Amino acid sequence: MSISALTNLFFFVAIISTLCFIIKAILYIMAGTDVEISSDFTSITEHDIHFAYFSLETIFSFFMGFGWGGLVAIKQFSFPAIMSLMLAFIIGCVFFFVSVFLMKFIRNFEHIIKVDPKEAVGQIAKAYTNLEPNCQGQIQLTLNSKLCIKQAFNNTQEPIKAFDMIKVVKYENNMLYVEKIK
């Protein structure tokens, strides 16, 4: 491969990957991050253990480093083609691993608090909606220092009006059972 062809290759790889990286960054800033809201009650905290080393960001980072590193090696330092390719690959790998490190570091800040409804048993709460006898409605209570609205079942023959004080008596089959405080 001739030096001018290799120079063109490095230039186009650098420009295209940089533009893709910038477009991805702009979309990320405008749209924000993906947020998953779940009503799973299995644990107190959840961390995203799935981390893809080969994401668009890391691939774009590799090709940016590869393209710009190779272009500098040929144009600025006048290295031969094989040496420029090796240096471009090494710089691309450095960009890749720095990108992976930064994304893993940033993901450590993600911390989703989940609420265990079993902790609600015995707590005093407030009816959020009317709960007819032996019917479902919503209650408002504090779990893990977080104000929550949860589905609940009126376990009595007495109607419970919205904003009445209630007590959670049991948790069974993913449902909180409540009784009116007398």
pLDDT in tens, 23-53: 888 887 887 654 333 344 444 444 444 556 7
**Contact between 51 and 70 (Cβ < 8 Å):** no
What CATH code is carried by the domain that includes residue 150? 2.40.50.140
89 pLDDT higher than 70: yes
Q: Which residues contact 116 (CB under 8 A, 6 or more apart)?
A: 41, 42, 43, 44, 143, 144
The model's confidence at residue 2, banded by pLDDT at 50, 70 and 90, is confident
Q: Which residues contact 44 (CB under 8 A, 6 or more apart)?
A: 113, 114, 115, 116, 144
Structural domain span for residue 124: 117-180
Q: In whole angstroms, what is the distance from residue 153 CA to residue 109 CA? A: 36
Q: In whole angstroms, what is the distance from residue 102 CA to residue 98 CA? A: 6
Q: Which of 39 and 61 is assigned the larger pLDDT?
A: 61
pLDDT of residue 3: 79
Q: Are residues 43 and 127 in the same domain?
A: no
8 pLDDT higher than 60: yes
Whether this prediction's pTM lies above 0.85 is answered by: no
pLDDT of residue 91: 96
pLDDT of residue 57: 84
Q: Are residues 13 and 100 in the same domain?
A: yes
Q: Are residues 97 and 14 in the same domain?
A: yes
As a whole number, the mean pLDDT across the chain is: 84
pLDDT in tens, 108-154: 776 666 777 888 899 999 999 999 998 999 999 988 778 888 999 99
Cα 37 to Cα 34, 116, 119: the distances in Å are: 10, 15, 20
Q: Are residues 50 and 71 in the same domain?
A: yes
